[in-house]
Structure 1
Amino acid sequence: MDDFVAQLRAISLIDWFAMLTGIVGVYLSVKEKTLAWMFFILCYVSYIYISFREGYYAFGGMNIVFVGVAGYGWYKWTQPPSETGDEVQVSHMPAKRRWQVALAIAAGTLGIGWLLASTGEARLPYFDAFATSCAFAAQWALSRKHIENWLFWIISDLVYLVFFFNDRIWPSVLLFTVFIILALQGWMEWKAKIAARASHSAQTDA
């Protein structure tokens, strides 16, 4: 127990900051609050430093791209229907998109994994690449409010949870555990919203 407390005290402030901003960002996204994107950007910037510090280069590159994707999501969620022609609502990903996303994840895992492995420095390159590819899919799906984003997050977060647990980076272990719990909550809440909208539409058409 004393060793665990000592390890917690030795953890840098940026790890705690990444944890807190990430948790707040995911919670606000579950509630469809636009402010979530600001916290996501703060979290991603923090994890750029953390991931390169620990040697997870795909994870670091992912967070660099995520800063831009978060900006896109922030913009997309703030656009009124009058400007975009349709309001972004919680929905299922179209069947065609699912196959495209699945192929993109497979290609990303092989391509990014090969690049990381060729450096000779990256740790667990193909697992890192797979988690990264799933997270890219999740972030894109979240920006479009597709409910499947939560499934992609869960898969990605499970992989990185194992990484950080093995490295004993306890704030990140806690963060990704909370991420998984919030992703499950997001799935259930968004599923209920889809069902409620479908029921309302059926009653209106009747």
Structure 2
Amino acid sequence: MSALEWLNDQFSFFGIPVYWSDFLGNILALATVWLALRRSLVAWPVQILGSVLLLIASLNVHLGGNAARQVVIIASASWGWATWRRSRQQEGTINVRWASWRERAVLIAVMAVGTFAFAAVLKANDASFYPGAPWWMVLADAWIFVGSILAMYTQARRYVEFWFVWLAVDLVGVPLAIHSELYFSGIVYGIFFVMVLIGIRDWASRSKGQEIASPLEPAVVVEGRTDATTTTTGS
């Protein structure tokens, strides 16, 4: 049996049929969120590996939007990794901040336009669920894709809003995963929900005392203070 065949095999997880690719990919996804909470550079390579496994799982159940999402996440994670490394070199740590109102407006506009546009592409090519799938299902699949891209971008930019975007993705991801019989993904999305709430509180607290930087510049810590509690271990 090849590695790909094994990853597409199912096993019983407390009576629930789970694909190995779905299981292992989501274990790494959970690790990614925990590492992001700690602002560790290791979060990015772990995310890349987890996305490769989830790409295999999505293709196995014909989720075109979710599969495309994993491809973009892999590419975006490489950029995010480089961004965080540069931030640590320049600032000595990974500082976080709230986005400006202008930045938030842009994110919301991209969220709305991007979701409908990508849903139209999926619908036209019957690339989501099954031919003739209802619009609400295709829109949900498209939002998982677009929302994940925005989450990756806001994470790389170190915006506190990163966690709110993931929260919106999770609210759609749980029923979508269960409907697609990716049951373990549904369970993990539920765990993500709790971790995201913790992340919002942690990053919001860390953002206090930091000035709003321009979109093209790293965040600035006022009064010469830096966060000496970083647990970054990546290279």
TM over 0.5: yes
- The equivalent of 1:19 in structure 2 is 26
Shift of 1:87: 7.0
Please tell me the residue identity of whatever aligns with 1:7: I
Aligned counterpart in structure 1 of residue 38 of structure 2, from 31, 34, 43? 31
1:54 shift after superposition: 1.7
Shift of 1:202: 7.4
Q: Which amino acid aligns with 1:150?
A: W
Give the counterpart letter for 1:34 in structure 2. Answer: L
Alpha-carbon distance in 2 for matches of 1:86, 1:94: 23
Summarize deviations over 1:166-191 as a string: whole Å, max 9, x none.
23422211211111111111100001
SS at match of 1:20: helix
Paired amino acid for 1:43:
G
Letter in 2 for 1:187: I
Task: Indicate the larger mover: 16-25 or 128-137.
Answer: 128-137
Q: Distance in 2 between matches of 1:197 and 1:32?
A: 16
* Inter-partner Cα distance in structure 2 for 1:148 and 1:197: 15
Higher deviation after alignment, 47-56 or 87-96: 87-96
Q: 2 CA distance for matches of 1:37 and 1:195? A: 25
State the Cα distance separating 1:152 from its structure 2 match: 0.5
For 2:16, give the aligned amino acid: Q
Question: When the two structures are superposed, what TM-score results if normalisation uses the length of structure 2?
Answer: 0.76
Q: Which has the higher helix share?
A: 1
Which structure would you say has the larger RCO, counting Cα contacts within 8 Å and 6 or more residues apart? Answer: 2
Are 1:88 and 1:144, in contact at CA under 8 Å, matched by a contact in 2? no
Out of 79, 99, 111, the position equivalent to 1:93 is 99
**SS of alignment partner, residue 97 of structure 2:** coil
Q: Report the equivalent of 1:110.
A: 116
C-alpha spacing 1:170/1:88, structure 2 compared with 1 (3 Å):
same
Deviates more, 1:123-132 or 1:20-29: 123-132
Q: CA RMSD in A?
A: 2.5
Which residue in the other structure is 2:67 paired with?
60
Percent identity between matched residues is: 18
Tell me, in whole angstroms, the C-alpha distance in 1 between the residues paired with 2:205 and 2:83: 23
Tell me, yes or no, if the aligned pair for 2:122 and 2:138 is still in contact at 8 Å: yes
Whether contact under 8 Å (1:131, 1:155) holds in the other structure is no
TM-score normalized by structure 1? 0.86
Superposition pairs of residues 1-206 of structure 1, within 5 angstroms: 5-8=14-17, 11-79=18-86, 89-123=95-129, 124-195=137-208, 197=210, 201=222
Counting matched residue pairs gives 198
Moved more, 60-69 or 94-103: 94-103
